[in-house]
Structure 1
Amino acid sequence: MQTIRKGSRGGDVATLQHALNLIADGIFGPITDEAVRDFQRSHNLAVDGIVGPKTWATLGIGSSPNPRRIDKIILHCSATPEGEDYTVDQIRQMHLARGFTDIGYHWYITRDGKIHKGRDEAKIGAHTTGQNSHSIGVCYCGGCPLRSVKNWANQGKDTRTPAQRAAIIRLCKELKSR
């Protein structure tokens, strides 16, 4: 594999993007650069955005891939108004429209406390800049006040239902045990 960096194009870039679970368009742009730096940081490599022999080897290109080393669980809200539902499929479609390969979160918890699988845990998430390669992203439906509240979209509110709180605790305990 060739050494590649931001501005590079071609098959090696597409291979890299596929390994990082990005849309493989073969163009090493800002999203690919961010994913490379995040990967390098989480694997104790020089964080320079340049994909040379060490980064290729750590990615497992040409050999068996290295498993992800998870050291964080990052909790998110969907920024949905209180009392309103937003499905995992709606978030997936929104993320696909933004150019992600799938929903960015690994798990999504609806207001009824049901835990829905999002992106496969073996794949790098797309939920927190600089943290994706070594974390699991969990999102719950809610996080904003009622739509009737002035500037509701710019305000945060803990809207978790008792069922969501219980599900978050249960899921986080399971994830930590693994």
Structure 2
Amino acid sequence: MKKGILTLVAAGFISFMISGCIMNTGAKVYDNDEIIAEEYNSYNLYKSSQYIEGNCLTGSAEKLEGMGMVWIFDAPEEVDVNMEGKVTVSSGKAKLVMIAPDDTLTVLREYTGDSKEPHEFTDTFRVERGRNRIKLIGAKDTRIEYEISIDQGEMKTFGD
């Protein structure tokens, strides 16, 4: 009797793990604007490190798939925001997407794994009154290093 129960529990656990791997949508969100605009994060990170110092987010991942919010700003009025940083994508592809209060998306930066050199950038963009967000999105098997500073709002790490 105990052996039968253990076998059933083991089979259930294996089925759960397999279905979780098959249903992983992290890499499938890259080109889906509707999912990107959602409030939640959906990602897989492997060998990742992240930290925030002041208004600067620094991080890396041997594998990033999916999306994570890295910045949020509840703007009291329409205002210009300054962003600078550097991103290195060694494999896969990644992008920074701004999500306006009405869930309109603007791709701020997009990179493919074509170079081991960092892509440095400085941008000024206008945000609308209300809740503005930026998400970092990685396609399948994206290897990335990043450093992003924004002069207003709040920087966040994946999982915050």
User: Do the two structures share a fold, i.e. TM-score over 0.5?
Assistant: no
Shorter-chain TM-score range: under 0.3
Scaled by the length of structure 2, the TM-score of the pair is 0.26
Whose helix fraction is larger, Structure 1's or Structure 2's? Answer: 1
